[in-house]
Structure 1
Amino acid sequence: MADKLSADVVVIGSGICGSLVAHRLAKQGVSVIILESGPRVDRGTITANFRNSPRKKDFMSPYPFSAWSPHPIYKPEDNGYLVQAGPHPYPAEYIRMVGGTSWHWAAQAWRLLPNDFDIKTRYGVGRDWPIAYEDLEPFYYEAEVKMGVSGAPNNGSPRSKPFPMPPVAESYLQQRFRERLAPEGYEVIVNTTARNSRNYDGRPACCGNNNCMPICPIDAQYHGGIAANAAEEAGATLIANAVVYRLEHDDKGRIVAAHYYDPDKRSTRVTAKNFVLAANGIESPKLLLLSASDKYPNGLANSSGTVGRHLMDHPSNSLTFYTDEPLWPGRGPMSPASINSLRDGDFRRDHAPFRIDISNASAVQSVTESLISEGVYGIDLDRQINYRAAHQVSLKNVMEQLPNYDNRIILSDRKDALGIPTPAAVYQLDDYIERGMQRSLEEYTRIAKIMGGTGLRFSKPGVYSNNQHITGTLSMGHDPRDSVVDSFGRSHDHENLFIASTGVMPTSATVNSTLTAVALALRTADHLARTAL
């Protein structure tokens, strides 16, 4: 195995970003080793796990938990891996296995809006990016081609080329929301997704399974496991169950090796010319902080003191209600359509922008559980399940959270089975978000009225869910004093260390972060290949 322990590039993390970086480099003849902390599991096993799981609403239950590569688990109880340091909880969910967390995503693959890149200059809030939309546009398209993305051409993000394929067929629920809301000024558009509407890249078209989260059973939906397989087919070497616990540097600050434990805590040293840290926005800063040395006592890449800081997500509130006509959610993708009119505008000076997502997830389980808890049984139970499952719908927002220096990932005092400190989240929400949440409630109420809504149930005031879109902890910027990496993802402190992760995003905007992170990762790979190899 000695000949496999050195390469031109070592990629740490086999999620969608790391695997697509490895794939791009390997296709150019670069020798690449991918180190993945978790195990390799196939789609068939995950699908069987989901079908056999008694906790269908727990999207983590089908995925393996490895003592040597733990991740947060909250059901049936919190395993304490991600320590909550307050003042608000941040129950992030992610998967540590080959392919990463996009195994159980909703496949929403939105581009940011051009104005999202300079909100400080334009609206006086947040931070400006060190790049513009135009710098990322060709890499957005490259990512869309690799992942198989479709969407509405009028979604606010300019395009130089059309989507690789047309959208998946419209669900009945989506159609009726669109038809009924349009006369009242709401434009309902198809969500931008990495989901096949036709056979594409050797994978079948979506056939309407309504369990996109936690697993597409036929791989019509793109995920990091597909990307990892492609990287290996292109020539990259992937080592699973390789828990990187330290990056080693030389006297000049160049990274010279990654050290990893196997499940039995045997340590291996892997050398390379360049290193790409491609774990998520929690595990990546954790590794940099773990790698502190005499030369870098505050951790690697941390001369600015911002490694782990500016933690962001997309906090959400919601409304559930009954429509005045049967829509039968549950036929087709779970999250097919949204309202995008409040993603941008001068109001961003005052309150957070947001996108309104219309759920198409089946309501059968939730209404059945609710009715049983209410003591309904017999013929009435059957009748009410039928009515509620056909009429119950829900809306939620995807809201921008501004970077806050005090929101951060740190090392906790707890240790995992290998003796590695676990991460802790320091997290809070501000009035900018609260004002956006209140505006959301106004929009929900109006939409429900148009749909003949009854039985309106708003989420608990002041208690907001996150969307597992971990951003900001490794922010890019021009100034080494307040950012971790430059505009190409290269560490300001270590010339051969690159970071490809949602964590490098300086702001979160109003859409799922995966496509932007992949586009940034491909731009990083392009720059690395041209300048560092």
Structure 2
Amino acid sequence: MVLHVRPGQVAGEHFDVVVIGSGFGSAFFLHAFLQHRHTRILLLEWGRHNSHAWQLEHGANTDLNDEQTYRSNSPKPWNYTIGLGGGTNCWFAQTPRLHPNDFRLKSRYRVGQDWPITYDDLEPFYCQAETVMSISGDPDMGTIMPRSMSFPQPPHRLSTPDRMMKAAQPDQHFVMPTARARVATQQRPSCCASLRCSLCPVDAKFTANNGLMHVFEHPDVSVCLGSEVRRLEYASGSVRAVAFSYDGKEHVVTGDLFVLGANGIQSAAIMLRSDLGGEFVGRGLHESYGWNLEVYLDGVDNFDGSTITTGLNFGLYDGDHRSKHAAALVYFENRWQHGLRAEKGRLRQTLPLVIVTEDLLEAENFVSLDEDDNAFIHYKGPANYAVEGMARAREKLPKLLRPLPVEKIIDRGLRRTESHVQGTLRMGRDPTDSVVDGDLIHHKLRNLLIVGTSTFPSCSCANPSLTAAALSLRAASRIMRGSRR
């Protein structure tokens, strides 16, 4: 391992593979790639390496505030972590798969855009990603999202309201799949249900620090921290070099294969600074659209589950309504984010819910460059499709909750962010509708892969990190086999 090398040690050098960023996309690509290839690899990471102990001591995932790395015309936050491991440091470790019909939104419901791959194409790699992260999950989810392997860990314990919902709706209410250990592993203890998942106090959730350091410590990999990639240099249909800044000085390295996995905002900015724009570069920045609600229960206590979010209800998800209104997913919370109920003897008779709907990739939501060539976000807002889907979901919620003794439903308001930066470098079948193909390879620069959630061509309700990991595992497999779709 060379962690971390100084830029002066690598400047002017040539590498077989140059990787930009170290989050889910990059790390899982390298995890698969390194199992079959011995090559000289350079990983360029803008942030530093902050150990779990450092994060606990400082109460933060990183020393570099994400809001310092972009400007915006909107107050909406776009949360991400800059540092070794990227979003693996700060995620809540919720890991549902995308629904099979999420991959064919256009062909099935005549809205949005289809993926250039199917659920079946990705399914074996979902299994691989779940194995790496020791995912705990509900085997019953296979009725909606078919599985070729069992979950590596048993499901978390449901709350009492969840158990009532699952008994009445076994085909649509499931235990939340999660990379928060249900059973202790060699690297991680079991989830303590302390409800502090952005910075797990016991290190139970999967992160780069407890599950991917073998990638960064591999003898073929040199990691250069504190290195902000500014542009790609290309000629004759290939990327030839990367220019990056370290401590105010620019350095250049050359390579054969380049993997861009900064995040949906910074990857797009790198492409734009490299004069690699186009109709879709930077366009379609999005995340799912979320709403908080609270349900007062009559005589039923909550908060007896074994993790922060216990249940996931698909009763408002798929169906013909998606031709007009977005799918909705209902998260059952095992945390008192709105406080306990202020009534004697009824403190726990409350159920926080989160509803999220899918969004469309709107051209008006995009990343550009400011006067200093840094990322600038233009955000108009969610598509009417998402907003109308949320209105439909809230209208139908009382019927969905009939298995529970609902006293009243309290509107707790719009969620400012789901902390999922998606879109901007979408995948598709050809350059007329996308930036990269189904193998995550740039349509024109065939030695450039773009990994991570920036490549998503549609917005599922499901948390995206598992899918980003699975896509990278698949991309590495395709490259190693030398096949192209």
Aligned to 1:230: 214
Q: Does 1:333 align with 2:307?
A: yes
SS at the partner of 1:459? Answer: strand
Query: Partner amino acid for 2:248?
Result: K
Q: Does 1:220 align with 2:192?
A: no
CA drift of 1:448 comes to 6.0
C-alpha distance in structure 1 between counterparts of 2:134 and 2:308, whole Å: 18
Aligned to 1:392: 350
Contact 1:210–1:362, Cα closer than 8 Å, also in 2: no
CA, structure 1 residues 331+361, in 2 after alignment: closer, same or farther (shift >3 Å)? Answer: same
Aligned to 1:344: 318
Aligned to 1:158: 146
SS at the partner of 1:27? Answer: coil
Aligned to 1:65: 63
Structure 2 gap ranges (5+): 1-7
Aligned to 1:503: 454
Query: Partner amino acid for 2:312?
Result: S
CA drift of 1:412 comes to 2.8
Aligned to 2:369: 411
Superposition pairs for residues 122-521 of structure 1, below 5 Å?
Answer: 122-155=108-141, 156-168=144-156, 170-171=157-158, 174-179=159-164, 182-183=167-168, 187-200=172-185, 202-235=186-219, 236-250=221-235, 252-262=236-246, 264-292=247-275, 300=276, 302-303=277-278, 305-325=279-299, 327-329=301-303, 332-363=306-337, 366-367=338-339, 384=342, 389-413=347-371, 415=372, 421-446=374-399, 451-454=404-407, 456-460=409-413, 463-521=414-472
CA, structure 1 residues 181+229, in 2 after alignment: closer, same or farther (shift >3 Å)? Answer: closer
CA drift of 1:20 comes to 1.7
CA drift of 1:425 comes to 3.0
CA, structure 1 residues 385+497, in 2 after alignment: closer, same or farther (shift >3 Å)? Answer: farther
CA drift of 1:389 comes to 4.8
C-alpha distance in structure 1 between counterparts of 2:133 and 2:455, whole Å: 21
CA drift of 1:447 comes to 5.5
SS at the partner of 1:404? Answer: coil
Aligned to 2:43: 34
CA, structure 1 residues 455+114, in 2 after alignment: closer, same or farther (shift >3 Å)? Answer: closer
The Cα offsets for residues 462-519 of structure 1, whole Å up to 9 and x where unpaired, read as x453312222211111121221001101111211111011011111122011111111
The Cα offsets for residues 28-62 of structure 1, whole Å up to 9 and x where unpaired, read as 22322111100111101212333xxxxxxxxxxx2
CA, structure 1 residues 392+6, in 2 after alignment: closer, same or farther (shift >3 Å)? Answer: farther
CA, structure 1 residues 193+323, in 2 after alignment: closer, same or farther (shift >3 Å)? Answer: same
Query: Partner amino acid for 1:308?
Result: G
Aligned to 2:5: none
CA drift of 1:189 comes to 1.0
CA drift of 1:223 comes to 2.0
Query: Partner amino acid for 1:7?
Result: F
The Cα offsets for residues 388-445 of structure 1, whole Å up to 9 and x where unpaired, read as 75233211112111222222122234x5xxxx52331323223222221112212433
SS at the partner of 1:489? Answer: coil
CA, structure 1 residues 388+465, in 2 after alignment: closer, same or farther (shift >3 Å)? Answer: farther
Task: Name the count of aligned residue pairs.
Answer: 471
Contact 1:150–1:193, Cα closer than 8 Å, also in 2: yes
CA, structure 1 residues 228+245, in 2 after alignment: closer, same or farther (shift >3 Å)? Answer: farther
C-alpha distance in structure 2 between counterparts of 1:226 and 1:270, whole Å: 30
Aligned to 2:478: 527
C-alpha distance in structure 1 between counterparts of 2:364 and 2:327, whole Å: 21
Q: Does 1:95 align with 2:87?
A: no
Contact 2:365–2:377, Cα closer than 8 Å, also in 1: no
Contact 1:27–1:234, Cα closer than 8 Å, also in 2: no
Q: Provide the TM-score with structure 2 as the length reference.
A: 0.90
Query: Partner amino acid for 1:65?
Result: D
CA, structure 1 residues 33+329, in 2 after alignment: closer, same or farther (shift >3 Å)? Answer: same
SS at the partner of 2:375? Answer: strand
SS at the partner of 2:444? Answer: coil
C-alpha distance in structure 1 between counterparts of 2:348 and 2:72, whole Å: 38
CA, structure 1 residues 234+273, in 2 after alignment: closer, same or farther (shift >3 Å)? Answer: same
The Cα offsets for residues 191-231 of structure 1, whole Å up to 9 and x where unpaired, read as 1112222233x223424232342112233211234454120
SS at the partner of 1:154? Answer: helix
CA, structure 1 residues 346+447, in 2 after alignment: closer, same or farther (shift >3 Å)? Answer: closer
C-alpha distance in structure 2 between counterparts of 1:472 and 1:136, whole Å: 19
Contact 2:192–2:202, Cα closer than 8 Å, also in 1: no
Query: Partner amino acid for 2:132?
Result: K
C-alpha distance in structure 1 between counterparts of 2:232 and 2:10, whole Å: 20
C-alpha distance in structure 1 between counterparts of 2:80 and 2:288, whole Å: 15
Contact 2:283–2:363, Cα closer than 8 Å, also in 1: yes
Contact 1:99–1:227, Cα closer than 8 Å, also in 2: no
CA, structure 1 residues 442+181, in 2 after alignment: closer, same or farther (shift >3 Å)? Answer: farther
SS at the partner of 2:240? Answer: strand
The Cα offsets for residues 366-386 of structure 1, whole Å up to 9 and x where unpaired, read as 538xxxxxxxxxxxxxx9487
Contact 1:23–1:232, Cα closer than 8 Å, also in 2: no
Q: Among 10, 13, 19, which residue is 2:18 paired with?
A: 10
SS at the partner of 2:290? Answer: coil
C-alpha distance in structure 2 between counterparts of 1:10 and 1:341, whole Å: 44
Contact 1:476–1:484, Cα closer than 8 Å, also in 2: yes
CA drift of 1:185 comes to 8.1
CA, structure 1 residues 318+209, in 2 after alignment: closer, same or farther (shift >3 Å)? Answer: closer
SS at the partner of 1:427? Answer: coil
CA, structure 1 residues 186+193, in 2 after alignment: closer, same or farther (shift >3 Å)? Answer: same
CA drift of 1:126 comes to 0.8
Superposition pairs for residues 75-94 of structure 1, below 5 Å?
Answer: 81-86=69-74, 89-94=75-80
C-alpha distance in structure 1 between counterparts of 2:429 and 2:168, whole Å: 46
CA drift of 1:451 comes to 3.6
CA, structure 1 residues 515+182, in 2 after alignment: closer, same or farther (shift >3 Å)? Answer: same
